[in-house]
Amino acid sequence: TKTSFDTLPQDWLSIAEARQSILSSCLTLAHEDVPLEECVVRALAQDVFATATLPPWDNSAMDGYAVRHEDLVGAQAASPVVLRVIGEIRAGGTALGTLGKGEAMRIMTGAPVPQGADAVVRVEDTDAEKDTPGQVIVRVSPAPRKDIRPGGQDMLEGEKLLGAGTCLGPGQIGLLAATGAVKVPVHRRPRVAVLSNGDEIAPLSEFHRVKSGEAIPETNAPTLSASVGCAGCIPLPLGIARDNPESIIEKVDRARDQRADVLVTSGGASMGEHDLFKRVLDGQGFKLDFWRVKMRPGTPLSFGFLPLHEGPPMPVFGLPGNPASSFVTFQMLCRPFL
């Protein structure tokens, strides 16, 4: 039976036009507070600000000696300068006392720079007190602030570090840890129903049909489910809808029952006699946004919305059945939406 879908023109959108249309339909899901270690590939629900100034003080970028620049003007290998070593500062330690004229302090990478010091000399540019403990021979003349990392270089308290909507990777997780975040406000992960269509495909449990030449392997659902997971979403595999309206309706109802936020279908996307997906969905109140994109592989792609019993309608991506087309269209147009 012909439906209103059969009379619709083919939109033939460019990839940019299709992406713009899809992204303009994005919905924002509710947020939840999640432990930091579980936030990879999640999307921030709120802006994040620095809760402390880091590093909290000037610190050494090298293992060496904290010195006063003016004591070493003109120092070089041929005419080194001898300084008196008055102490040592380790990373995590405290810089006690003030450095005076002709004095130095042993200092480790990350240790706070003592008062009075305005440069750090690498241990490689000294004799490391080899001949006389407590006296260091310096063979270079460092510039002011040489090898000193200023306090607040990483972040200043109150500074905006990450914006809402940021997808969190390992680097962002480390940054959040530096704010003391034990839990992070992130958006709920979209639940994505994945449905394949066709009498000709066999699931892994029926691979014997492939070996006997009766069917082709069902690869779209595993590929798309993995792609959904890589996009930070929860895949809901629905199995295979066979080429009859009853099977398609049963699978679509299952997507509704599982509270899917998005339905991604593959196969049945074109105009063949047995390409039933859009025709069946049309009878379910499906509102088509567009059909056909100027891209190969992946031309017969559609996007629209299926009404639910309550709440906003469910976005539906109709991907081609060819595995290469299905994969490419997902990455180009479906993943950005998710």
pLDDT in tens, 163-191: 999 999 999 999 999 999 999 999 999 99
pLDDT category of residue 268 using cuts at 50, 70 and 90 = confident
Going by pLDDT thresholds of 50, 70 and 90, the confidence category of residue 95 is confident
Number of H helices, E strands in the chain: 8, 19
Give the helix/strand (H/E) hosting 291.
Answer: strand 287-291
On the question of pLDDT at 238 being above 90, the answer is yes
Mean residue pLDDT of the chain comes to: 92
Query: Using an 8 Å Cβ cutoff, are 91 and 110 in contact?
Result: yes
Tens-place pLDDT, residues 284-303: 899 999 989 999 999 989 99
Is residue 5 predicted with pLDDT exceeding 60? no
Mean pLDDT score, 84-92: 95
Contacts of 102 (CB under 8 A, 6+ apart): 71, 83, 84
C-alpha–C-alpha distance, residues 117 and 54, integer Å: 20
Residue 274 has what pLDDT? 47
* pLDDT for the residue 270: 59
Question: Looking up tokens 């017969």, which residue turns up?
Answer: 300
